[in-house]
Amino acid sequence: MSDRYVLEVFPLGPLQCNCTILINESQKKAVVVDPGMGASQIIARLSASPELEITRIWLTHAHLDHIAGVQEVKMWASAQRGADVPVHLHAADEPLYRNAKAQCEMWGVPPFEVPETYIKIKTADTYPELPGARVLYTPGHSPGSCSLYLDAPFRLDGNTSLFRGVESEGQGFLIAGDVLFRGSVGRTDLWQGSMEQLENSIKKQVYTLPDETLVVVGHGPLTTVGREADHNQVVTRD
């Protein structure tokens, strides 16, 4: 019997970036994906479940609204759980990661620090608490954008306003960051964005997944592969 997961999704900060706490129920282990601005909400949730082991912080990409809370979550885990939680990021987004302060200046938001070291995401990566997970390299919104796919049973929790139009339980999910939105796609006019790359990523990596696959997007309500492949206003399947 495959492991079962809980996906707790919280929109954080003024840009309402969807942070996901991905919990393996049987192992009592959790991965925090894209902790953005206002990470205190995520910390409060983790604090309420002392039985959960926080195994890693996984970043779909390094735009400021997806990384602003990384240091805060990592320091909390160290202080409260005695855990040195690693940060995972694709190396192609390192310039964005290292220039977090410059991103803040560009967007007029308070500066923040990020951890100095991180583990470079590779498509061959495996994670013991996420057996069978596949890392998909999905550039276009940023040069290092990655998505995380598991063909496993799940249930949704967190901000229920994001769940309209999708099933609260199902089989198979993709945490896609800003590659794909409900009815739209991530912008490509930021540093080293590419519409050609993004379209290729969506058609060849996302739309080749089963239609019923839940897609946890980076902003706004969740969707499914089939819905976007047939009805997305920007990129549909061939």
| Domain residue ranges in the chain | 5-231
Share of the chain above pLDDT 70, in %: 100
Q: For the residues 9-36, what does the mean pLDDT come to?
A: 96
Q: Which of 20, 54, 152, 141 has the alpha carbon at shortest distance from 90?
A: 141
Taking residues 106-123, report their average pLDDT. 95
1 pLDDT band (50/70/90 cuts)? Answer: low
- Homologous superfamily assigned to 5-231: Ribonuclease Z/Hydroxyacylglutathione hydrolase-like (3.60.15.10)
CA nearest neighbour of 222 among 170, 186, 180: 180
What are the pLDDT digits (tens) for 47-86?
999 999 999 999 999 999 999 999 999 999 999 999 999 9
- Rounded to the nearest integer, the mean pLDDT of the chain is 96
Reduced 3-state DSSP string for the chain: CCCCEEEEEEEECCCCEEEEEEEECCCCEEEEECCCCCCHHHHHHHHCCCCCEEEEEECCCCCHHHHCCHHHHHHHHHHHHCCCCCEEECHHHHHHHHCHHHHHHHHCCCCCCCCCCCEECCCCCCCCCCCCCEEEECCCCCCCCEEEEEEEEEEEEECHHHHCCCCCEEEEEEEEECCEECCEECCCCCCCCCHHHHHHHHHHHHCCCCCCCEEEECECCCEEHHHHHHHCCCCCCC
Taking residue 39's Cβ as centre, other Cβ atoms within 10 Å add up to: 25
**Considering the entire predicted model, what is its pTM?**
0.97
The answer to whether residue 20 scores a pLDDT higher than 80 is yes
Write the burial class of residue 137 (CB in 10 Å: 0-12 exposed, 13-18 middle, 19+ buried): middle
Q: Is the pLDDT of residue 121 over 60?
A: yes
Position 168 scores a pLDDT of: 95
pLDDT of residue 215: 98
